[in-house]
Amino acid sequence: MKTNNFRGRDWIDAELDYTKEEWETLIDLSLRLKQEFSMGVDHSNILKGKTLFSMFFNQSLRTRSTFAAGIQQLGGNYIELEPGKTYTPARKGYEVPYKTERICDVASMLDRVGDAIAIRMYGKPAHWIYGFANATLKEFAHYANNPILNMECDIHHPCQSLADMITIKEKFGGFKGVNVTMSWAYSGSFEKPRAVPQSFIMAAAKMGCNVTIAHPEGFEMDPRIIEESRKMAAMNGTEIKMTNNFDEGFEGAHVVYPKSWGTGACFNYVDDAGTVVKEADHDLARSLFEANKDWKTTQKQMDLTARGGIYMHCLPADRDQEVTDDVIDGPQSVVMDEAENRLHGQKAVMALLMGGRL
């Protein structure tokens, strides 16, 4: 397999920066690695001697465990640099003496002693400024020659969307003619990024699915993401449909993905000079959430899906808020397959971008 088109590249805005054909390569490699892993094939020579540094500014279970297990299964080394226990990387103007270190110095140093840096950041660590975390990852990329891997920022979560596409291909054999719905769902916490839904609709549109977005008024996604998704859909002869009706999003869907995300009121917005032009209103965000408690997936909604329809969720799911137990634990749920595919998708990303022996 030729890897010249992948080696050394960043994985930040991957739904935008990688072609459909490159996504197909990653999906196919992920499925190959998964099959061989189940057969006991030894992959420890693929990234032998390579080192991955990770930084989690936010909590994590699936991402943390699958990156750690994945790099070690490929023969590499995993080193977690927890912000706060190490000097916390900071952008200019956000430094705290003896607690932080400028990103240019952190990135340049780690670039000399390792082979990739994986980062998760959104919400409070990004000062609730929409796009701040994404810009932080890109600042790391500016100072590092080795790949920067996005483990979820405030705009994109390409590791999750890759696992989602792997799962859809496993269940349906491909993407053409597959109707997918990304739906908002209620949660008791409004502090949730848009990254998962935004990455999912872009990846699904890129791969050729028919995409529906369902959410209550006030929970619109980034207009730029919607515009890019529409462009991707048009290239495949499909379109992006919108609805503010919960049940309508389930009707005839092969894949439903009801997941909570934050309203625009959750975030601060700044201009190019860094000046806040719109402040977050968390009281408004909380009231919008509480006004839509009926957006909870039950078997009633699942009965509206197409024959063979599946329930997906990135996890963790807020049980009895986003979804009832009988759905997430039921026969239509593929959430554990989806979670497992995080491991194999990320192994494919690391193998190709970090110059693995394939």
Q: Give the pLDDT band of residue 4 (cuts 50, 70, 90).
A: low
How far apart are the C-alpha atoms of 264 and 267, rounded to whole Å? 6
| 252 has a pLDDT exceeding 60 | yes
Are 100 and 204 found together in one domain?
A: no
Give the model's pLDDT for residue 70: 98
Are 334 and 234 found together in one domain?
A: yes
Give the model's pLDDT for residue 60: 97
In a domain, 7, yes or no: no
State the Cα angle at 200 between 126 and 230, rounded to 5°.
105
| Partners of 86 in beta bridges | 83
How far apart are the C-alpha atoms of 294 and 106, rounded to whole Å? 46
Nearest to 199 by CA among 186, 179, 216, 182: 182
- Counting the structural domains of the chain, the total is 2
How crowded is residue 63: how many other Cβ atoms within 10 Å of its Cβ? 22
In a domain, 2, yes or no: no
Domain range holding 50? 14-155+342-353
Are 140 and 201 found together in one domain?
A: no
Give the model's pLDDT for residue 3: 41
Q: Give the pLDDT band of residue 2 (cuts 50, 70, 90).
A: very low
- If you average pLDDT over residues 206-230, what whole number do you get? 98
Nearest to 83 by CA among 69, 66, 96: 96
Instruction: List Cα–Cα distances, 1 to 6, 26, 45, 76, 358, in angstroms.
Output: 11, 11, 16, 20, 7
Are 230 and 118 found together in one domain?
A: no
In a domain, 116, yes or no: yes
Nearest to 121 by CA among 56, 199, 186: 56
Give the model's pLDDT for residue 275: 87
In a domain, 279, yes or no: yes
Give the model's pLDDT for residue 1: 34
In a domain, 3, yes or no: no
Q: What CATH number corresponds to the domain at position 194?
A: 3.40.50.1370
State the Cα angle at 103 between 98 and 107, rounded to 5°.
120
Are 87 and 120 found together in one domain?
A: yes
Q: Give the pLDDT band of residue 163 (cuts 50, 70, 90).
A: very high
Give the model's pLDDT for residue 260: 98
Are 332 and 190 found together in one domain?
A: yes
- If you average pLDDT over residues 221-250, what whole number do you get? 98
Are 134 and 189 found together in one domain?
A: no
Give the model's pLDDT for residue 272: 84
